[in-house]
């Protein structure tokens, strides 16, 4: 069974989804790939410990603190390739960015391949089911452009500016 609750944030309403123990989704209202293929019915349940912890994490994040991803038990659903990409996203420090191409090079190395498609990486980044906490907004185009964000470029820009302010302090 999957559970849901909502959180009002500076980037709009967020839906949190849990399996009861882990956070399996964090979706922005009107984002591309909303619910990312979750087939199960979602039951409203506001008082799960993982939801309480996630809301506190988000409060701190939007107050320009730097909460650790490790504070929230996350279990994003996806294949092996996507899991590898999402793991790399989790390693991007606050206030920093990485390109799709750089991630592709890392994945190619991990998989003992000569090269990997930056487009395939972009697809995996775009299907990240736990927005903000798994920081897919920190991935940019090779020329530094703010390309592709399932939550919309304006939200991506807001999150990056929030984190930059956080780092500059």
Whether this model's pTM surpasses 0.85: yes
Is the pLDDT at 36 greater than 80, yes or no? no
Look up residue 84 and give its two tokens: 């590898």
Q: Can you give the residue ranges of every domain in the chain?
A: 2-71, 80-168
Q: Could you confirm whether domain 2-71 is CATH 1.10.3470?
A: no
Give the span between the Cα atoms of 15 and 8, in whole angstroms: 9
Best CATH choice for the domain 80-168 from the list 1.10.10.10, 3.40.50.300, 3.30.720.200, 1.20.81.30: 1.10.10.10
The residues carrying an active-site annotation are 136
Q: Strand ranges (DSSP E) for 10-108?
A: 12-18, 23-28, 42-44, 98-99
**Residue indicated by tokens 């920190």:** 138
Same fold, 2-71 and 80-168: no
Residue 74 contacts residue 130 (beta carbons within 8 Å): yes
pLDDT number for residue 81: 95
Over the stretch 95-128, which tens digit does the pLDDT of each residue have?
899 999 999 999 999 989 999 988 999 999 989 9
pLDDT number for residue 166: 53
């Amino acid at each position: 069974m999957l559970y849901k609750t909502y959180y009002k944030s500076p980037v709009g309403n967020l839906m949190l989804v849990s399996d009861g123990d882990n956070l399996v989704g964090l979706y922005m209202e009107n984002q591309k790939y909303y619910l990312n293929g979750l087939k199960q019915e979602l039951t409203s349940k506001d008082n799960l410990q993982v939801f309480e912890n996630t809301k506190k994490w988000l409060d701190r994040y939007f107050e320009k603190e730097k909460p650790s991803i490790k504070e929230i038990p996350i279990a994003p659903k996806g294949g092996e390739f996507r899991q590898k990409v999402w793991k790399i996203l989790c390693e991007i420090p606050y206030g920093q960015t990485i390109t799709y191409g750089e991630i592709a090079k890392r994945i190619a190395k991990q998989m003992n391949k000569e090269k990997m498609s930056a487009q395939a990486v972009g697809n995996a980044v775009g299907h990240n089911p736990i927005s903000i906490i798994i920081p897919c907004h920190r991935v940019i185009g090779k020329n530094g452009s703010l390309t592709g964000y399932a939550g919309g470029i304006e939200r991506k820009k807001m999150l990056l500016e929030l984190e930059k302010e956080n780092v500059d302090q």
